[in-house]
């Protein structure tokens, strides 16, 4: 990396906000997916959109790739640095620019945490997408990954709430996509940007829609002898026309793990717990809550517990949200998957996962967003045992394939990143990937924004008519012309 680039970055953001020491950079070598680590050449922490522009422009001028990073809680390696590149850390861009409640909009910088948005519009309004990491994860990262959460079966995903973006493209130009208004004329480029995993540019300002806080919430947990029985209850609830605010399932292993952290006192002899939450107008909840309890009982539930108050509801949710961290107590390491299946295929896919787990000799705990068929199998392993990490990764891969074969997706909310890009060809044909690349090239023809993510193999953009020029990634030895 040319020293003049570092000099430009320091001039733009200040000495202390440009890190080049190896030991300092190690802080940023991974995101939430610890299985991958790359130390970047430099990390820079701009404090404003103007500084981001200066950083991106400097990288463009030097032909150096860069990766944007929010809170680093992503689980697909989407913010994994590039060894030859610059990591653009957005944690200092954390201003809420405008709370426009009369129009039900909030405008903020990308480093603002997900939970801070709901807090800023409370108590009358809230921001529905609620990833489990919402206390730390940033809205910029949510935009990059199109994050979901427990409430998205009813309320939708990040993409359904972002109405406008200010984006810095990889050549350093700034473009406004969308706005506070809906249906602005032209291509839905903010819709395309959400979920593009940092490969189309970096958002420096984000406008989201917020909605009225539900009048009422009621939560129950129903216990079943097996996930299949609980899955049957989910089907019956959905078929009855009930759209729960959240409907989450945990299996035996994840209940055991969470119980050690959340101490909810759930029975020790059940195969699955189904957490169902209805939110909305009191009249509608009253009309449907008993239906849900009855449908659970009819589907074979051994016990239905209704949360008596907010405190008990919090304990129910603590059980669910503790599932990932708690797994660390029962297994030295685990590998989270994020595949999706058509909900009606749940039973057969669970049987397949169980069989794969037996074959590999590794335990798999299952936590799902049951309404939308988004599975989070947690493959447990001990990284200190030779070969076990590799076996875990292999097993996780087989689980992904089983889900795709059932008509599902390789990722529901964590993103492709580096973790799942090798599975992309299982879901998409070459013509599909070629169409993706057209979009990527329209935004970033030099491929400098977060290279090596999403697409299964590096590819370059076709030249715009004119004389051949060497591509910056070719020059850096990161990609070959195909």
Binding positions for another protein, 350-369, rule CB under 8 A: 369
Q: Does 148 bind another protein (CB under 8 A)?
A: yes
Which region, judged by CB under 8 A, interacts with another protein, from 82-90, 103-111, 388-396, 471-479?
103-111
Task: Looking at residues 273 to 332 of the shown chain, list those that interact with another protein (rule: CB under 8 A).
Answer: 280-281, 283-284, 286-288
For the record, the structure tokens of 105 come out as 């909009």
Q: Which of residues 385-424 bind another protein (CB under 8 A)?
A: 407-416, 420, 424
Piece of the chain touching another protein by CB under 8 A; list 27-35, 175-183, 225-233, 307-315 = 175-183
428 touches another protein (CB under 8 A):
yes
Whole-Å CA distances, 63 to 60, 79, 188 = 5, 19, 29
Residue range at the interface with another protein (CB under 8 A); choices 179-187, 266-274, 354-362, 387-395:
179-187
- How many residues lie near another protein (CB under 8 A)? 90
Q: Residue 427 in 3-state DSSP?
A: helix
In the bound complex, what is the minimum distance in angstroms from residue 95's beta carbon to another protein? 22
Site map (CB under 8 A) of another protein, residues 113-142, x = contact: -----------xx-----------------
- Based on the shown chain and the rule CB under 8 A, indicate whether residue 373 belongs to the binding site for another protein: yes
Q: Which of residues 194-223 bind another protein (CB under 8 A)?
A: 194-196, 212-215
Q: In 3D, which of 319, 346, 222, 221 has the Cα closest to residue 261? A: 319
Tell which residue, 399, 334, 366, has the closest CA to residue 254. Answer: 366
Name which of 154 and 321 has its Cβ closer to another protein. Answer: 154
Write the binding mask 231 to 260 for another protein: x where contact by CB under 8 A, - elsewhere.
----x--xx-xxx-----------------
Q: Which of residues 151-170 bind another protein (CB under 8 A)?
A: 152-153, 156-157, 159-160, 169
Find the binder of another protein among 122, 310, 435, 475 (CB under 8 A).
435
Q: Where are the alpha helices (DSSP H) in 167-299?
A: 189-193, 227-239, 252-262, 282-298
The CB density around residue 204, as the number of other CB atoms within 10 Å, is 25
Site for another protein in 444-463 (CB under 8 A): 454
The CB-of-444 to another protein minimum distance in angstroms stands at 10
Q: How far apart are CA 103 and CA 120, in angstroms?
A: 14
User: b/e per residue, 128-154, with b = 16+ CB within 10 A?
Assistant: bbbbbbbeebbbbbbbbbbbbbbbbbb
Q: What angle do CA 236, 337, 233 make, to 5 degrees?
A: 10
For position 468 contacting another protein by CB under 8 A, the verdict is no
* Binding status of residue 66 toward another protein by CB under 8 A: no
Q: Which residue, 195 or 227, is less far from another protein as judged by CB?
A: 195
User: CB of residue 401 vs another protein: minimum separation in angstroms?
Assistant: 13
123 preceded by a cis bond (ω within 30 of 0): yes
Per the CB < 8 A criterion, the answer to whether 107 and 207 are in contact is: yes
Are 320 and 150 a contacting pair, CB within 8 Å? yes
Return d(Cα 456, Cα 477) in angstroms, integer: 17
Asked whether position 175 contacts another protein by CB under 8 A, the answer is yes
- DSSP calls for 209-245: E-EEPPSEEEEEEEEESSHHHHHHHHHHHHHTT---S
DSSP string over 120-131: HHTTTEE-----
188 binds another protein (CB under 8 A): yes
In the set 43, 340, 349, 418, which binds another protein (CB under 8 A)? 340
As measured in angstroms, the least distance from the Cβ of 280 to another protein is 5
User: Does 63 interact with another protein (rule: CB under 8 A)?
Assistant: no
**466 counts as binding another protein under rule CB under 8 A:** no
């Amino acid at each position: 990396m040319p020293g003049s680039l570092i000099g430009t970055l320091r001039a733009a953001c200040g000495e202390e906000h440009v890190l080049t020491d190896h030991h300092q950079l190690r802080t940023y070598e991974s995101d939430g997916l610890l299985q991958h680590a790359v130390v970047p050449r430099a990390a820079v922490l701009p404090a404003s959109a103007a500084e981001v522009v200066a950083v991106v422009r400097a990288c463009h001028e030097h032909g150096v790739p860069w990766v944007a990073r929010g809170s680093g809680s992503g689980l697909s390696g989407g913010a994994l640095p590039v060894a030859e590149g610059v990591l653009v850390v957005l944690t200092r861009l954390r201003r809420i620019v405008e709370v426009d409640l009369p129009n039900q909009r909030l405008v903020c910088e990308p480093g603002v945490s997900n939970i801070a948005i709901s807090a800023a519009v409370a108590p009358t309004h809230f921001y529905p997408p609620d990833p489990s990491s919402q206390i730390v994860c940033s809205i910029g990262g949510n935009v990059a990954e199109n994050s979901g959460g427990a409430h998205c079966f009813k309320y939708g995903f990040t993409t359904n709430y972002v109405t406008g973006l200010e984006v810095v493209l990889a050549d350093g130009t700034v473009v406004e996509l969308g706005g506070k208004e809906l249906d602005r004329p032209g291509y839905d480029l903010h819709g395309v940007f959400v979920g593009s995993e940092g490969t189309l540019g970096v958002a420096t300002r984000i406008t989201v829609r917020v909605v009225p806080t539900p009048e009422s919430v009621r939560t129950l947990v129903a216990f079943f002898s097996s996930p299949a029985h609980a899955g049957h209850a989910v089907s019956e609830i959905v078929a009855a026309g009930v759209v729960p605010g959240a409907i989450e399932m945990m299996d035996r292993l994840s209940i055991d793990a969470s119980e050690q952290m959340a101490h909810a006192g759930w029975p020790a002899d059940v195969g699955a717990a189904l957490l169902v939450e209805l939110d909305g107008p009191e009249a509608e909840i009253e009309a449907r809550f008993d239906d849900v309890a009855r449908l659970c009982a009819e589907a074979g539930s051994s016990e239905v517990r209704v949360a008596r108050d907010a405190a008990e509801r919090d304990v129910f949710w603590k059980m669910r949200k503790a599932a990932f961290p708690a797994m660390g107590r029962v297994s030295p390491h685990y590998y989270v998957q994020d595949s999706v299946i058509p909900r009606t295929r749940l039973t057969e896919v669970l049987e397949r996962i169980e069989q794969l787990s037996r074959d590999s000799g590794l335990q798999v705990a299952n936590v799902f967003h049951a309404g939308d068929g988004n599975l989070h199998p947690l493959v447990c392993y001990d990284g200190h045992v030779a070969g076990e990490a590799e076996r875990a990764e292999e097993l996780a891969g087989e689980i992904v394939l089983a889900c795709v074969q059932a008509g599902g997706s390789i990722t529901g909310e964590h993103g492709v990143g580096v973790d799942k890009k090798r599975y992309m060809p299982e879901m998409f044909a070459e013509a599909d990937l070629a169409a993706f690349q057209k979009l990527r090239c329209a935004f970033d023809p030099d491929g400098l924004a977060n290279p090596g993510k999403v697409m299964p193999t590096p590819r370059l953009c076709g030249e715009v008519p004119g004389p051949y020029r060497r591509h910056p990634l070719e020059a850096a030895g990161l990609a070959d012309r195909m």
